[in-house]
A and B are shown apart, each in its own frame.
Chain A
């Protein structure tokens, strides 16, 4: 089974703190993603990476950065946390291509519920 793990299930931080969210996958997937999920807004893509040291901005990259030094690990960094970054953060991984006959698509971690006070 694909396994995507995230470093924390729940996190509480203060405004202005630097926050690191870690994600590790064990399926040797090339692609990794960071989303945030908010009520009424659904899943929104923050950043994704298709290879080590490569990254692409998603729909809402402002206030975030990412790091991918190893294939299995993708980190999301909040440089200076703000209250509007309180959210559920979801990491996902996938192989490069969807396939007609397999279920090789994005697999998600359990999520980190971040509260910024």
Chain B
């Protein structure tokens, strides 16, 4: 079983839809959870960062962590064509910044 599983998609939604992106993981020691957004032919950029369980909201984006189910989610409300990108989850068990484990990414396409 891979440490981090992420459905590659592609996921296609109409503008204005609510999008749910998910990752599951197997290592119960993961405490730090991140979502990166990567536009085509660009480097990933940090979108959301969460420590331990719970929700974190930033504008139209909500990151949710359920450690009991080993499941993290990114919700995008009122999706826009500019949200079309690949979304990668990343996580770490320890504080060391060297130890990020990445999902393979989900490709999202939002049509106008």
Contacts and interface: CB of A to CB of B under 8 A. Distances in A.
Nearest to B97: A94
Contact of A106 (B51, B97, B104): B97
Contact of B32 (A40, A43, A98, A109): A98
A49 B46 CA distance: 21
Contacts of B51: 98, 100-101
Q: How many B residues touch the partner, as a band?
A: 20 to 34
Contacts, number: 65
What are the 10 tightest A-B residue pairs by CB atom distance, in nearest-first order? A42-B104, A94-B97, A108-B43, A97-B95, A103-B49, A43-B102, A100-B51, A98-B32, A110-B43, A111-B43
Given A94-B97, A104-B97, A110-B42, 16 more contacts: A31-B97, A33-B98, A42-B88, A42-B102, A43-B44, A48-B98, A94-B98, A97-B97, A98-B32, A98-B96, A102-B49, A106-B97, A108-B36, A108-B45, A110-B43, A113-B41
Interface of B: 8, 32, 34, 36, 41-46, 49, 51, 88, 90, 92, 94-98, 100, 102-105
